[in-house]
Structure formats: C-alpha cells, structure tokens
Amino acid sequence: MKKLIYGYMKLQRFYFDDFRPERKKGDLVELKEDLIAHLFTDVGYFVAILKKGFMWNGASVPKILRWFLPNWHKNKEAFNVLSALHDGGFASGGFNGLFTFDDLNDIYRGGLREIGFGRFKASTACFCITNFAKNHFGQDEYKIMHLCECRKISG
C-alpha cells in the first residue's frame, strides 16, 4: 500500500456506527462489537474499523490534567470514539502506514473541534500528544494492532 503523506490534514466531519465499549480494570476499555468510523477530510474519505476486542485507556489524559480534558466523556460518545481511533492509529503505526503521526493528530484535533471543544483545548491536547506521547506511535502496548484497519475510499 502506498504511504499517504498529507502535511496538515483537515477533518471536515466524521460519523460512526454502533459504539459498545465495556469498562475493564482501571481506565482500560474494550469494544464489545466492531466500531466503524467514517472520516471525511480535505484529502479524501476514509473508513476506519476497530474490531471487537480492541482495548484502549480512554484519552490517555494524566489524572492531574483531567480538569482540563477528560479521559472519558460521559456525555459525548464521539469524544470516546475519537480517543479510540487515535489510540488505534497510534498502536498500528498510523493504520499500517496509511497516516503519519501528524495526520492522526490533525484528525484528532479536527474531531475535537467538530464535537464542540474550543480551538485552545483541542490544540493544547495535540501539543501534549506531540511532546509527551510521540514515543507511543507504532508501539502496540495492548497487542491490538491486528484489530485496527483503515482504508481510503475516495479522494
């Protein structure tokens, strides 16, 4: 598969099908059914699939910063979906090279903006990811890489 490098990617909108997570020990969450997300960006339309059994730890926000950005949002399911997609993309090295580290952050920031988070909060979240979590890119800590897929449909 050809690697797609976009520079700055703008998420224009996204939607997702059924989202059925189940809390595990601590912050760990597991999908009870496949999660299918549709991502419309300025460079194309993508479908991401996180399969049943996919596990992640919410938005990976340290407890000391959860006053600013939650680890799990009780009222915004889309926030939790974005964190799952971001973690799946990270674990699989950009969905097996389809996206770069920066592409995933652009999608995450755009998604946060779309669901109502302000520019400052969304940009600060991505600043923290860039400066404190970059070493997790491509690291399959929960052995979930095989449960993450994404393909470009058009564009």
Q: What is the mean pLDDT of residues 146-151?
A: 97
If we measure between CA atoms, which residue out of 62, 7, 55 comes closest to residue 28? Answer: 55
pLDDT exceeds cutoff 60 at 3: no
How large a percentage of the chain has pLDDT more than 70?
Answer: 95
DSSP state of 92: T
SS3 assignment, position 38:
strand
Place of tokens 């949002």: 73
Q: What is the mean pLDDT of residues 116-122?
A: 94
- Could you give the CA distance from residue 134 to residue 137 in angstroms, rounded to a whole number? 6
Is 27:141 a contact under the CB 8 Å cutoff?
no
Max Cα separation, the chain?
41
Q: 84-96: buried (b, 16+ CB within 10 Å) or exposed (e) per residue?
A: bbbbbbbbbbbbe
The DSSP bridge partners found for residue 151 are: 47
If we measure between CA atoms, which residue out of 124, 122, 114 comes closest to residue 16? Answer: 114
pLDDT digits (tens, 9 = 90+) for 11-66: 888 899 888 898 887 789 999 999 999 999 988 999 999 999 999 999 988 889 99
pLDDT digits (tens, 9 = 90+) for 57-79: 999 888 899 999 999 998 889 99
Place of tokens 């393909």: 151
pLDDT exceeds cutoff 80 at 100: yes
Place of tokens 């996204």: 14
Q: What is the pLDDT of residue 109?
A: 93
Is 39:58 a contact under the CB 8 Å cutoff?
no
Q: What is the pLDDT of residue 31?
A: 95
Q: What is the pLDDT of residue 11?
A: 86
Give me the residue spans of the domains in the chain: 11-154
